[in-house]
Amino acid sequence: MILDLLIFFSVFFLMEAVAWAAHKYVMHGFLWSLHESHHLPRTGAFEKNDWFGAFFSLVAMALFAAGYFIDVRFTAAGLGMTAYGFAYLFLHDILNHKRFGIHIKPNNRYLRSVLQSHRIHHATQGKDGCVSFGFLVPMRAKRRIF
Ligand SMILES: [Zn+2]
Ligand SMILES: [Zn+2]
């Protein structure tokens, strides 16, 4: 049980590092063609950028399958990844981008800094010159922008 919890939290926090690196080097790199939609005004319910989330959910499903067929410990990893997915969904898609028509005005310090940190990411339009690639761990801003 302790080991399962350790795996769960390790994977959860590791995913922030993976997402940060993927955002900085892949999405703003050779897969910009998919991520660009996220830096443009949304035209429908979905954007091409959602494929990244779909990809990571496939990895989580593979972990659940491995948990069933190979070793039950993979299930803890799958749950950690899924929990990260929900945290990302809430903090990035809902809090930052008001997906599903949900508007939240946080007065919580952590949520406000996550919001501010991602606004800095969207402050520039293109592929290059962006900063603040994390989603759950806010970048420490030198000054407040709102
Ligand atoms: Zn971006
Ligand atoms: Zn965004």
Closest-lying ligand to the alpha carbon of 50?
Answer: 2
Distance CA(125)–CA(111), nearest Å, equals: 23
For residue 122, report the distance from its CA to the centre of ligand 2, in Å. Answer: 7
Closest-lying ligand to the alpha carbon of 28?
Answer: 1
For residue 69, report the distance from its CA to the centre of ligand 1, in Å. Answer: 36
Domain definitions of the chain by residue range? 2-121
For residue 140, report the distance from its CA to the centre of ligand 1, in Å. Answer: 17
DSSP secondary structure of 20-33 = HHIIIIIIIIITHH
Inter-helix orientation angle 2-21/73-88, to 10°: 50
Q: What is the pLDDT along the chain (146 residues), one digit of tens a residue?
A: 899 999 999 999 999 999 999 999 999 999 999 999 999 988 888 999 999 999 999 999 999 999 999 999 999 999 999 999 999 999 999 999 999 999 999 999 999 999 999 999 999 878 888 899 999 998 865 555 54
Q: Which pTM value belongs to this model? A: 0.91
Distance CA(146)–CA(136), nearest Å, equals: 19
Inter-helix orientation angle 50-69/73-88, to 10°: 160
Structure tokens at 18: 């993976």
Distance CA(18)–CA(16), nearest Å, equals: 5
